[in-house]
Amino acid sequence: MIDDNELPTSPPEGITPDRIRTWLKLRPAPLAGIRETTNERTFDGSPRFDKRRPQFSTGFWTGLDERARFLKRWFDFPDLGKRGWSIIFQDFPPPGPDCEWFLGWVPPEREAEADGWIAFMNAETQRLLRKDATEKPRAPSTEEEP
């Protein structure tokens, strides 16, 4: 069982190598992929991403912004016997307090697989944002028709 006090939070500069190191100790196994339910997608539990609306959840739902993106960041920790790509979600770039989320990692030989997940999730985020923009109700016009 993991004590909540052991879970790293995002520092002001985002997910640093030290934070990746801490997460690797907590999640030593590489990611299997994107997990899907009827309404959500996730990588390794949290955050969760809504499949119908541009929002994500880390305990409560937060709307996504057009700057939200998924990315990868290289790491190499010989002392842990781990090297590869960390998968990160940024909800409001540039990095800042609590705006980057460690989703998991893959070894170097699975980089192409990670790139596919990242491309898919970035495309889905943009699709949901476009869909949301077109479906937003507009206030009725106060002007009378001639």
Q: Are 86 and 71 in contact (CB under 8 A)?
A: no
The Cα 30–Cα 24 span in angstroms is 9
Domain boundaries, the chain: 8-129
Structural tokens at position 42: 């996730």
Q: Tell me the whole-structure pTM to 2 decimals.
A: 0.79
Query: Listing from the earlier edge strand, what are the strands of the sheet with 40-42?
Result: 35-36, 40-42, 48-50, 55-57, 61-63
Helix, strand or coil, per DSSP, at residue 10: coil
pLDDT digits 0-9 by tens, 113-137? 999 999 999 999 999 998 876 765 5
pLDDT digits 0-9 by tens, 86-103? 999 988 755 555 688 899
